[in-house]
Amino acid sequence: MIRPLIAAVALSGLGILSLACNETSASSAGVRTAQGMAQQPTTPSYKVSFGQDGKLARPRGYRRWIYIGAPLTPNDMNNGKAAFPEFHSVYIDPVSYDHYKQHGVWRDGTVVVKELVSVGTKSSSSGAGYFMGEFLGVEVALKDEKRFPDEPGHWGYFRFTDEKGGPPHQRAEQMPTAACATCHAATAAEDLVFTQHYPVLRAAKNVGNVEPEDR
């Protein structure tokens, strides 16, 4: 507990307070016993950070989280104006992924990061298709019962994407319920998460599609 306190004190000068919303869960992330070769160290829970202005700090380190899939809604299939252009690379923090794998539910504190990437080209030596171009933005969903008591599933949504095409914002305020949560609640397969589009998640629960890692 000493190091988080030091971090909180150090960061308070920047107007950032560490929110330890995940501390009750036991972390067993990354430990695989079936193959000794693949054994990984234990991963600490990810701690989101809110500023004193109530804005969420853009999560860091998600390049090392669990990638769950990459839906694609290209502009050229959506009259030039896709709601989420164009590739969506989606990550979930490792401790919440492991909890989901074990219990089949999204724990309080789950963080989902959606990185938006443009279509760079539609042809390569592997064939015709869609190939990634440049980063366009970052969006986040956070499940937090205390912070979002009245939101569907207690999920809060945040958009760090710069609408003018610049680098993503460092902080973002919560999106209105109607902007994100309403649609997620109505159309996502499971607790506002689009499990139907993520074979990694279906395999984690062994629903129809067993992960190659496990067979």
- In this chain, which of 35, 53, 80, 150 binds a copy of itself, going by CB under 8 A? 35
Residue nearer to a copy of itself on the CB measure, 89 or 174: 89
Question: DSSP assignment, residue 108?
Answer: T
Q: Does 15 bind a copy of itself (CB under 8 A)?
A: no
Using CB under 8 A as the binding rule, the residues of this chain from 128 to 167 that contact a copy of itself are 128-135, 137-138, 160, 167
CB 173 within 8 A of CB 158: yes
**Any contact of residue 91 with a copy of itself (CB under 8 A)?**
yes
Q: Which helix (H) or strand (E) holds 124?
A: strand 111-124
Q: Is 199 in the site for a copy of itself (CB under 8 A)?
A: yes
Choices 4-12, 104-112, 147-155, 171-179 (CB under 8 A): range interacting with a copy of itself? 4-12
**Closest Cα partner for 21 from 51, 55, 45?**
45
Nearest residue (CB) to a copy of itself, 30 versus 51: 30
Cα gap 204→132, rounded to integer Å? 26
Largest CA distance in the chain: 54
> Which x/- pattern, by CB under 8 A, does the window 42-81 give for a copy of itself?
xxx-xx-x--------xxxxxxx-xx-xxxxxx--xx---
Rounded to an integer, what distance in angstroms lies between the CA atom of residue 49 and that of residue 33? Answer: 33
